[in-house]
Amino acid sequence: MTKKSPDIGKKLFFEHLPLIFAFYLYLTAGTLLEFFLNQKLLAYTDFYFLFLGGFLLPFFFFFISIKFSLYLTVHLREGFSCLPGFWRMLREDYLSMAGIGRFVIVFTLIAPFIAIYSSLKQSIPLFQPFRWDPIFAQLDGTIHFGKAPWEWLQPFLGHPAITRFFDYAYNAWGLLFVYSLLWMAWSRRESLRLQFFFSLVLNWIFIGTLLATLFSSAGPCYFGNLSGGPDPFAPLLSYLHSVPGLIATETQRTLWSAYLHDRFMPLGGISAMPSMHVSVAVLLTLTFFRVNRWLGLPMILFTLLIMLGSIHLGWHYAVDGYLSAILTILIWKAAGWLLAAYRNRIEGADKEIFLSFPGWPRKGRLVALAFLFLMIPAPLVLAALDRQGATISPTHLLDSSNIVAHAMGGIDGFTYTNSLDAFLFNYRQGVRTFEVDLRLTADDQVVAGHDDSLRDNFGMDGDISTITRARFLQQRYQNRFQTLDLQKILALMTKYSDIVLVTDTKSDFEKIMDILVTMGGRHNSRLLDRIIPQIYAEKDYAVVKSLYPFKQIIYTLYRTDATDEEVLDFVRDKDDISIITVSKVRFSEKLTSDLKQMGKRVFVHTLNNKRAISRYLALGASGIYTDFFTDPLH
């Protein structure tokens, strides 16, 4: 008697079990991190389902059109009379229960897997700051005969038309990846399909998550923002910004802004080493070669374009791509070997019993089952234990005295509004220290605004500096939020006698400070004692001191090139400079420690993420600038 073959559902389950298991482990790791850190890390799974789903109809049309063209070529003599045969082939190979089932399994797993990967990628700076860039930049120069790779490439690629070509090719990577993903999900080549997805998952786990965290780096386009010293990539970036309409430079600005303000972005995140762009390109090349050599050969050229483009466009160091390519090939080989061993292991197994593998004793099966079922509630149990024995989170050190509402604080997802609405909302949340951005209008009046340009936030041409105060006050930020001028701000300080105002002077520092002191003294001289001016250079200190004896002054470092030693020397004997404000990039444990020994406090801007806030407070920061973080004050 022949042994009955398992039904389609069980067959598909066992085929995809390694992929399911890897996904579950990755999801469990992400969930554990969420609970241990008390911080939301995994988000936007629905976005990735919708994102991939948006490609389904074009893919099906494209796929069936190519299949029909190939089928028609083979059956050319039959003409359109071959349509019944083509339909029969589709039903048997792709529209059968097995074909639809394998597609649904992969599609269901891959969307949340991408969501987990993207979330963890954007969380890398929470665990490991960008500290490897100088090492990789130096390594690039060493192995490329004393010159950075971009310098070797620039004479050949540094022409606007060629740069735009590489820019388009680099962005075409995403489209090719998604269509290849859907193609492999529907492919009837069982061995190749599983090797592709298992390799992809392992690449995301080991290359895109573990190694990316271990070797946390931002890439050449951000080198100058991180180093605080000479930027060897400045000439490259200057050239790239001179080429209008590049997707790369615009994307780089967007990602850096999201990083600075702790904004989560679907498909976002900054990570250079290793390069997942190169890794995926190599993986697609290996896959296409397995299908047909004539498909694989063009992919070698495409992978080379991605590799060169990653360097020329400032995304990656060359070593990022080299390591990715080597590791991807090794992972591809390892995945093939593991899957072959797995298939041999379950060959002829009794699949009527879950995990009933040959050679597994009954006790072993029970242990495996218990292990899998215990993994499901494990995150909840471990989280409860963790919270039970946890010490007080550093964020509990926050109160109204060391939280500064950045640009009057965020409101309804908007930042930089500097609006009355934002002030009132954040005041109700318990915030009492407000930073406000100040600018001069055309009639030399002081108003609250971050950017001089009115186009993006007010939908009108011109700049704040080219219109009058009266016209500025008629506008609403994003057509929603009420604008403020200095007179209204001082009126708010009079009404709300417990608030402190921190100035961020965006233009005409001396003139704005003079107007502030004059109007503040005229309004109510005691208001000036609740104003903390920010200075940006040593010369600003003399200006402020000549105007009014402010009780406190903040020295903010985001506009200065002063070294840590120069900062320490400058503030050493100035008791009224009580706070030094630094960005996340400029923050240094040593500088913070040295300043605290002088009796100074260090505030970090701009933080909206609980994990990041806890980290900087644990490292010695005394306070934060934030758009939205108000939980400790509830």
Each residue's pLDDT tens digit, 205-261: 999 999 999 999 999 999 988 865 678 999 999 999 999 999 999 999 989 888 877
Q: What phi, psi does 475 have (nearest 5°)?
A: -85, 160
Give the residue-averaged pLDDT of 265-277: 91
d(CA 204, CA 553): 47
Neighbours of 527 (CB within 10 A): 20
Mapped onto helix, strand or coil, the DSSP state of residue 390 is: coil
Please check whether residue 239 is in contact with residue 158, taking contact to mean a CB–CB distance below 8 angstroms.
yes
d(CA 434, CA 455): 25
Contact residues for 434 (Cβ-Cβ < 8 A; gap 6+): 404, 405, 408, 409, 423, 426, 499, 500, 501, 502
pLDDT at 31: 78
Listed in sequence order, the DSSP H helices in 313-377 are 318-346, 362-375
User: Parallel, antiparallel, or unpaired for β 476-477 and 481-482?
Assistant: antiparallel
pLDDT at 59: 92
Give the residue-averaged pLDDT of 534-563: 91
Mapped onto helix, strand or coil, the DSSP state of residue 400 is: coil
Cβ burial 421-456 (10 Å sphere, 16+ → b, else e): bbbebbbebebbbbbbbbbbbeeebbbbbbeeebee
Q: Taking the model in full, what pTM does it have? A: 0.73
Q: Each residue of 162-210: pLDDT tens digit? A: 999 999 999 999 999 999 999 999 888 889 999 999 999 999 999 999 9
- The residue whose two tokens read 């970036």 is 237
- In three-state form (DSSP H/G/I as H, E/B as E, the rest C), the secondary structure along 181-244 is HHHHHHCCCHHHHHHHHHHHHHHHHHHHHHHHHHCCCCCHHHHHHHHCCCCCCHHHHHHHHHCC
Which has more pLDDT, 315 or 391? 315
For residue 383, pLDDT over 80 is answered with no
Q: Which of 576, 523, 590 is nearest to 545 (CA)?
A: 576
For residue 361, pLDDT over 90 is answered with no
d(CA 279, CA 265): 22
Give the residue-averaged pLDDT of 275-299: 95
Provide the phi-psi class of 393: left if phi over 0, else alpha when psi is between -120 and 50, else beta: beta
- Which of the four pLDDT bands, split at 50, 70 and 90, describes residue 1? very low
- Which of the four pLDDT bands, split at 50, 70 and 90, describes residue 284? very high
For residue 632, pLDDT over 60 is answered with no
Q: What phi, psi does 400 have (nearest 5°)?
A: -65, -15
Alpha carbon separation from 266 to 122, 124, 130, 543 (Å, rounded): 10, 15, 21, 45
Dihedral Cα 121, 127, 133, 138, nearest 10 deg? -120
For residue 356, pLDDT over 60 is answered with no
Please check whether residue 605 is in contact with residue 406, taking contact to mean a CB–CB distance below 8 angstroms.
yes
Secondary structure letter of residue 632 according to DSSP: G
- Provide the CA 5 distance to its chain's centre, in angstroms: 47
For residue 326, pLDDT over 70 is answered with yes
Alpha carbon separation from 227 to 99, 240, 310, 317, 588 (Å, rounded): 52, 20, 21, 15, 12
pLDDT at 49: 87
Which class for 245: exposed (0-12), middle (13-18), buried (19 or more C-beta within 10 A)?
exposed
Q: Each residue of 110-148: pLDDT tens digit? A: 888 888 888 889 888 877 888 899 999 999 999 999 999
For residue 4, pLDDT over 80 is answered with no
pLDDT at 41: 59
pLDDT at 347: 65
Q: Across-strand partners of 463? A: 453
Q: Which of 281, 246, 219 is nearest to 162 (CA)?
A: 246
Instruction: State which H helix or E strand residue 128 sits in.
Output: none
For residue 590, pLDDT over 80 is answered with yes
Please check whether residue 180 is in contact with residue 284, taking contact to mean a CB–CB distance below 8 angstroms.
yes
Q: Where along the chain do its domains lie? A: 8-359, 395-633
Please check whether residue 406 is in contact with residue 435, taking contact to mean a CB–CB distance below 8 angstroms.
yes
pLDDT at 40: 61
Q: Which of 179, 204, 202 is nearest to 288 (CA)?
A: 179
pLDDT at 132: 92
- Which of the four pLDDT bands, split at 50, 70 and 90, describes residue 373? very low
Look at 5-14, 25-34, 124-133, 408-417 and tell me which has the smallest mean pLDDT: 5-14
The amino acid that residue 574 corresponds to is K
Contact residues for 381 (Cβ-Cβ < 8 A; gap 6+): none
| Helices 97-122 + 17-37 axis angle, to 10 | 30
User: Chain-wide mean pLDDT for the chain?
Assistant: 84
Q: Which of 113, 634, 244, 608 is nearest to 624 (CA)?
A: 608
Please check whether residue 628 is in contact with residue 282, taking contact to mean a CB–CB distance below 8 angstroms.
no
pLDDT at 192: 93
Dihedral Cα 57, 60, 65, 68, nearest 10 deg? -150
For residue 291, pLDDT over 90 is answered with yes
Cα dihedral across residues 13, 18, 22, 25: positive or negative: positive
DSSP per-residue letters across 289-321? HHH-HHHHHHHHHHHHHHHHHHHHTTS--HHHH
**Cis peptide bond prior to 606, omega within 30° of 0:** yes
Q: Across-strand partners of 447? A: 439, 485
Please check whether residue 560 is in contact with residue 587, taking contact to mean a CB–CB distance below 8 angstroms.
no
- Provide the CA 623 distance to its chain's centre, in angstroms: 24
Please list the helix, strand and coil fractions of the chain in percent, rounded to the nearest 5, in that order: 65, 10, 30
Please check whether residue 217 is in contact with residue 132, taking contact to mean a CB–CB distance below 8 angstroms.
yes
- Provide the CA 281 distance to its chain's centre, in angstroms: 21
pLDDT at 558: 86
HSE toward the beta carbon, residue 143, CA cutoff 13 A: 10
For residue 77, pLDDT over 70 is answered with yes
Give the residue-averaged pLDDT of 268-289: 95
Q: Each residue of 454-492: pLDDT tens digit? A: 888 888 888 999 999 999 999 999 889 999 999 999 999
Q: Which of 211, 313, 218, 320 is nearest to 259 (CA)?
A: 218
For the domain bounded by 395-633, which CATH number is listed? 3.20.20.190
d(CA 222, CA 132): 12
Give the residue-averaged pLDDT of 42-63: 86
The top-scoring range by mean pLDDT among 1-10, 95-104, 143-152, 559-568 is 143-152
**Residues constituting the chain:** 634
pLDDT at 545: 93
Token pair for 567: 């900062």
